Amino acid sequence: MDYTREELMDIVSGQMPERRWGHTLGVMETAVALARRYGEDPQRADLAALLHDVAKYWPIEQQEAVIRDHQLNMELLDYDKQLLHAEVGAYVAQQDYGVEDTGVIDAIRYHTSGRVGMTKLDKIICLADYIEPGRDFPGVDRIRELAEHSLEEALVAGLDSTISFLIEKQKRIFPTTVLARNDLILQIRSK
């Protein structure tokens, strides 16, 4: 990687409002704690959490252009614009910041949508994004409690919350999110 952690923190914090930087710090702290609890490398979790929202405040047109210009996941363009920053962030982490760890890149890429076959790091970053200390939405305390004993159960509760919100707002649900939820339910049942 071409940058130190401190340099990356300066770069990332400069690309977002102070409140979102506070969220990122909370996700970093939570991801490291979850990594320690569930046997994942805390440094990988810290790096993925640091970069997970790097493109969140880029103009939507710029995010769409990165996806189109680099032939990333074009299907995302047909769904909620909130999904774009994860795909673009993964690309930027690799191309601009020299992250070579594909597991870290994928954890950034799937932190909003989930995916079938989520790795432990994918689950940690997605879950940390839901439950970091600054988050306050109906059901977050229950998700935090579930995270004490099961990444999968906590993530299902988080995805249920997202899906319910999208249904309530009459928005389309990205199919990968539904498939991720179903896969997590199978994982829970097989334990």
> Would you state the structure tokens that stand for residue 36, as one six-digit string?
């320690």
* Cβ-based neighbours of 23, under 8 Å, separated by 6 or more: 53, 132, 134, 135
pLDDT single digits (tens) 26-72? 999 999 999 999 999 999 999 999 999 999 999 999 999 999 999 99
* Range 168-188 average pLDDT: 97
> Would you state the structure tokens that stand for residue 63, as one six-digit string?
């995010």
The DSSP result for 15-53, as a single string, is: TS-HHHHHHHHHHHHHHHHHHHHHT--HHHHHHHHHHTT
Nearest to 110 by CA among 186, 41, 184: 184
The predicted model scores a pTM of 0.97
